[in-house]
Structure formats: structure tokens, C-alpha cells
Amino acid sequence: MSAVEISPAAGTDQEARAEAARTRRNWLLSLPAVILLLFAASGPLVIVLIYSFLTPGDYSGVKWIPTFDAWTSILFSRDIFDDTLRLADAHLTIFWRSASLSLLTTLITFLLGFPTAYFIATRPPRQRGLWLFLITIPFWTNLLIRTFAIMEVIRNEGLLNKLLMMTGLISEPLQILYSDTAVLIGMAYVYLPLMVLPLYAALERFDFRLVEAGYDLYAGRWMVLRKVILPLVKPGIVAGSILVFMPSLGAYVTPRVLGGGKHMMIGSFIELQFGQGRNWPLGASLSMLLLLIVGIGLFFYVRAMSKEKAHD
Amino acid sequence: MEFLPARVDTNRIQPASRKTPVPVAAIETRQISKTFGSGDREVRALDHVSLEIRENEFFTLLGPSGCGKTTLLRLIAGFEAPTSGQLLLYGDDISNEPPYRRSVNTVFQSYALFPHLTVAQNIAFGLEMLGKPKAEISRTVDEMLAMVRMEAMAHRKTSEISGGQQQRVALARALAPHPKVLLLDEPLSALDLKLRKEMQRELKRLQIETGITFVFVTHDQEEALTMSDRIAVMSAGKPLQIGTPREIYDRPANRFVASFIGESNFLSATITAATGDVARVRIGGGIDMEAALPAEAPRSGKVTVAIRPEQVRLVEADAADALPATVTDTVYFGTDTHTHLLLDSGETVVARFQSTLAHSEERANGTRVGVQFWEGSVQVLRETA
């Protein structure tokens, strides 16, 4: 009798012990990843955060005197004579340029990427792989090299100008290089695949029979796009926009090479603080600000998506 | 005041013109062909189809998969353009009009409800695209919801309702703009048997209530027989026979129709005389009977006749005017019992009896019997034997 009564309890005890062992083993297995994340990802971030509250060193580095100067100097510059704060116009220009160029890049990649993704998603399944493969080819080459290739295309004696001159559309070469337009072209080119891929993922799941249903119910092409396709691929549009907008905001290589230093964006501006500017705390606070903006953006995205899921 | 005489005039003319009405078909196809692909892989889905679908009619396109019935429906909807031929909607050539300019709506096999919209928003979609005023839209949507008994579900997402309910919403959505013609592409195929029977009656009710011309595509012969005013039986891109369910079932014009709709016995026969649509035939070399003779059928010589299993009668083996036969098998089907017979001429015949009568007709295998057919049950087929 007693043996029968004990055995189920013993069973649960054994199960609990096995469960504990499993948990321990899983922790041990994930330990390298946890250590790596802590020290390689979070560690440097913490250092940057601390530096943003310190005083710049005389030549470089920081002095361990805590201050909010770095954060205030993002938006304001302190008058050296009367110590009053004024809006730092130069900084605002850089922020504005970064934001507007990033938004424009997002818009351009969407306008180019949507038809591309639509085209791929409507190919026969066996052909789609090939098209996606072609989209990812640029990723195989170093970003710097691709940027120089763009430079080769748009410079005064470059491919584009030569072609336009040959066709007689222009008589003088267009000065595209070292302008905002050049930066825009470069960023749109570099980030286009990041827009195409999530759009394709959304369109691939889209039930194209709904397009026929739309046509059947008196919606023309434009209305079908607006009322049926776009609302249903919205998650892909948002994901693609975030994937393009966020890195555009902090882009460094492309604006530096194609914008020629005159048209600075946040990325170059941060780099400047750690180099010639010798203002590490400002660089650190700018970096943290960028991270904050991206973080807030992602937060709203995730919340919007989970809301959408709850609706379904 | 000036208009008054004019109105009187038209009133006087109208009854006169009604006496000689020019019947305009809701849908008319003129020699429509449709081919897919090209070269070696060219597939002819429709082959010079000419047919008329009348106003307020429940018209069914019936046939096995690949017979072209869905292609014809998609052509009427505007999702495909004919390779050649003309498509007329109330006399207007709409062959090249896009679907959104045709007063024709479709109930899709997959329903194709918009998953990002609620039930009510789905029903309102067509009306919104037509630019109807808001008040009218909400009134029509309420009417439609009531008509398909979905009032309680108006604000649900389409993913939150059952298959049968989705079906009703798809119907309401297609009916809401009050199209001239409603197309239904096998809309009941995804429902279970009980729900399907219910929806068959519901569809028929809606068709009568709304007075809209329904064009219904199905491969289910029972569905076609129970709901349709007229049926077009299609095979290999062509309508083989068009007629009322009774005409199609009782007077199948050819072998395909006779075997696709219900079951048939096919026997060889010889025409001995023919007048109008009646022929005198000698069946199985033994009995002489009158048979229905369709147009375009041979009027003399050897032919094939079709006889429904329920029209077969068994008599004593030595009876006069009967074909001698042997019982080979008896199969019980619940409501019916089928008796398989081998005629002495070598042909086989299946006889069907209601199970309540079967005990008197049931005979052991090997029993010798005489086979007779009820008067008016013999149908000559177009194909020569």
C-alpha cells in the first residue's frame, strides 16, 4: 500500500530534479553568449554612456569630472564671454540634414523597392529565389567599394554624365558628386535591399486573389493598391522603413565619401568629435542620442505590431 | 404643362412595344474562345462558346474540372479576356471592359474576404468604390446583413467567423452593389454536407428575393439539378447541352451528359422509323419501343440509347416484349437497391429500385429474368453506335 502511495510523489520529485538539471544545463550552454553580450555589446555602451557625462580631456580622452555639458552642447553652445546659452545652429543643421536625408532615403527606397518586391512576389515560385539572390549580390562587396563605384558613376567625367552628354540632354556635366543628392543616391542604393526584403516577405504572404476581389468590387488599380494591398503589407512597409531609416540616420561611410565632408551628417559629426574635435563626451552623448531615437522608434514599432497581432 | 402630352405619348407607345418585346439576354457569348499558353503547350479552355443567359435566371455551368466552366465565369467577371469572340451584357459589348467597370460581382470559391476589414466594412467595400453616399451605404449594409442573417457579426473581423458565415458575408458583399449579374464560383465546395444543403436553399431564396441573374459554377450535378432554372453541361471547352434540369436529366442528348448527370444504361439500338422528335427503335434486337430523338441525332440506322436505372422493370423470364437476362449482382445502397443484369445479347444493364419495393424485386444471382423499360424512358443519343 505504502509503496503505491509514495511512487507518484517520488515521480514528481524526480521530474522536478530533472527539470532543474535541464534548466542548469541550458544556462551553462547559453553562458558564452551571455558573457559575450554583456562584455562586447553592453559593456562598451555603458562606457559611452559614462563618457557622455564627463569633461573632455585637453588633447583627447576624458577627465573624470562629471558634468551635463556634453548633453547641453548637443543643442546649445555656450558663449565664451558671457557664459549664456545659444542654440547651436550648426548642430541643428546637421540634425536636420541627417533626418531629412534619411527620410528621403526611406521614401526613395520604398518607391523603388515596392514595385521590385511586388515583381518578385508575383513571379512563379521557382524564379523568386533567383531574383532574391540578385537583390542580395551587392551585400557581397565591401560598402566602401560600392560607394566608390557610385562615385565613379556620378562624378563629372563619370558614366551618368557621359551618357547624358552623349544623348544631348545636357551640354555641361552635372555637378552631382559632393552634394546632398549624391549622398541620397548612395544611401538609396546601399539600403535598397533592406527595404526590398521585408516588403517581399509581406507580399509573398499576401493573397493575390484579394486583388481580383478588389477589381470585382469596382476598385481600379490605384484603389486596389491603396485599399487592399498597402493595408495588408503594412507590417512589411514599417519593417523596411525602420531597417532603412535607422542606419541612414547614423550612416558614415556614404555621406563621407559622396558628400565630401561639406555635407556632414550625424555619423561624420560624431566621428569628428572623437578625432579632430577632441570632444569625446559630446561624441558620446550624440551617440547615445542616436541610440535613444532608434530605441524609441523600435519601441513604437513593436507595440504597433503586437497590437495588430492582438486584433487578428 | 408642355411635357404632359409627351408623357401621355410615351405611355401610349409603351404597351404597344411590350407586345413585341425584344428579349435581351443578361449575358450573351458569341463564339467565345480562350486559349492559354502558346505553341506546343497551347491549351484551348473555351472553344467557340455561344450561349445566352436570360434575365433573372439561375443559370448553372456544370462540368468536370478542366471543362472550361471556371474560365467562362472569369471571362464574364473580366479577369480574363477572350482570345476571340464577343461578350455582351444586356446587349453591350463588354469583352474588353476591366472588371471594375462591369456591373457584375463574384462570390469567389475562396471567398476572398478582406482580412483587414470587418464584416460590415467588407460588405460596404463595393458601394464605397462606387462612390455611394454614406447614408445609403450604411442602409444597404444593414439590409445585406439582415438578408444573410449576420447582424450580430457586423463588427467582427472576417478571421473570427466560421466558414459558413464567411460564405454568407461573401454573398452579401457581392450582392450589396446590386449587380446585374452575380457570378458564383463553386461557392459551396468548402462547406460540409449539411451546411451545403442549407446554403443551396438559401442561395435559391436570395436569387428569387433579389431578382438578380445568378451564374453558378459547379461540378456537383445534384447541386445543379436542385437549384438551377437552366443548366449548361460543359465538356472540353464547349457546352454540350443547355436546358432545364428536367430536360438535362430526362432527355440527355449525348453520352457525356447522360453519364455525368446521374447514371445511365447505354444500349445499342436500331431506328426503324423517325417522325419529328420521336423515333421507333428496336433495342437489344428484342423489343420495339418509342424513343425521344434529339435534334442533330441520326434518324436511321444503328444508334445508342440511354435508359436511367430507375426506368428498368423486371418481369418473368419468358414474358413477351422483354429482353432475357441473368441477375449477376445485387447492391444495397440504403434508399435504393441496384440489380446488375447481363443481357443475353452480352450488354449489361443496371436496374434501381427503391429499397421499400426491393424485397419484391430482389432476386438471387443467376436468376433468369426479363428486362423491360418504362414507356417514355428511352432516349436516343447523338453519337452513332
CB half-sphere exposure, A225, CA atoms < 13 A: 6
Determine the average pLDDT of the residues in A155-168. 86
Minimal CA separation from B237 to chain A, in Å = 23
Q: Please, which pLDDT band fits residue B29 given cuts at 50, 70 and 90?
A: very high
Kindly give the pairing relationship between strand B43-53 and strand B301-307.
Answer: unpaired
Position B194 scores a pLDDT of 86
Cβ-proximal residues to B270 (8 Å cutoff; 6+ apart), any chain: B281, B282, B301, B302, B303
Report CB contact under 8 Å: B112, A212. Answer: yes
Residue B18 phi, psi dihedral angles, 5° rounding = -70, -25
Domains assigned to chain B: 27-250 (3.40.50.300), 255-384 (2.40.50.140)
Position A2 scores a pLDDT of 45
Interval A220-239: pLDDT, tens: 999 999 999 999 999 899 98
Determine the average pLDDT of the residues in B349-372. 80
Residue B10 has pLDDT above 80, yes or no: no
* Chain mean pLDDT for chain A: 87
User: Residue B236 carries which side chain, given as an amino acid letter?
Assistant: A
Closest partner CB to B100 (pick from A215, A311, A312): A215
Q: Please, which pLDDT band fits residue B360 given cuts at 50, 70 and 90?
A: low
Question: Touching check for B99 and chain A: CB below 8 Å?
Answer: yes
Residue A83 has pLDDT above 70, yes or no: yes
- B361/B338 Cα distance (integer angstroms): 10
The region, left, alpha or beta by phi > 0 then psi within -120 to 50, assigned to residue A239 is alpha
For residue B62, count other CB atoms closer than 10 A to its CB: 29
Residue that wins the pLDDT comparison between A215 and A91 = A215
Q: Please, which pLDDT band fits residue A9 given cuts at 50, 70 and 90?
A: low
Report CB contact under 8 Å: A210, B159. Answer: no
Residue B295 has pLDDT above 70, yes or no: yes
Report CB contact under 8 Å: A219, B100. Answer: yes
Best probe of the B interface among A207, A210, A218, by most B CBs < 10 A, is A218
Residue B16 has pLDDT above 50, yes or no: no
Report which listed range, A158-162, A178-182, B57-61, B146-150, is most confident. Answer: B57-61
Position A3 scores a pLDDT of 46
Sign of the CA dihedral running A203, A207, A210, A211: positive
Asked if the ipTM is above 0.95, the reply is no
Determine the average pLDDT of the residues in B373-382. 89
Residue B262 has pLDDT above 90, yes or no: no
Which residue in chain A has the smallest CA separation from B109? A209
Residue B367 has pLDDT above 90, yes or no: no
Position A260 scores a pLDDT of 79
* Chain mean pLDDT for chain B: 87
- Of A109-113, A289-293, B39-43, B305-309, the one with minimum mean pLDDT is B39-43
Residue B294 phi, psi dihedral angles, 5° rounding = -75, 160
Interval A114-127: pLDDT, tens: 999 999 999 999 99
Residues of B in contact with A218 (CB under 8 A): 100-101, 126, 129-130, 177
Interval A16-32: pLDDT, tens: 888 888 989 989 999 99
Residue that wins the pLDDT comparison between B39 and A198 = A198
Question: Touching check for B315 and chain A: CB below 8 Å?
Answer: no
Position A86 scores a pLDDT of 78
Residue B14 has pLDDT above 50, yes or no: no
Q: How far is CA B94 from the centre of its chain?
A: 24
Cell for A46?
A: 555603458
Interval B85-102: pLDDT, tens: 999 999 999 998 999 999
- Of A133-142, A180-189, A232-241, A261-270, the one with minimum mean pLDDT is A261-270
Sign of the CA dihedral running A202, A101, A131, A208: positive
Report CB contact under 8 Å: A219, B173. Answer: no
Residue that wins the pLDDT comparison between B80 and B357 = B80
Q: Please, which pLDDT band fits residue B19 given cuts at 50, 70 and 90?
A: very low
Residue B371 has pLDDT above 80, yes or no: yes
Question: Touching check for B376 and chain A: CB below 8 Å?
Answer: no
Best probe of the A interface among B108, B110, B111, B114, by most A CBs < 10 A, is B114
Scan for cell 555603458, then name that residue.
Answer: A46
Report CB contact under 8 Å: B108, A232. Answer: no
Q: How far is CA A132 from the centre of its chain?
A: 20
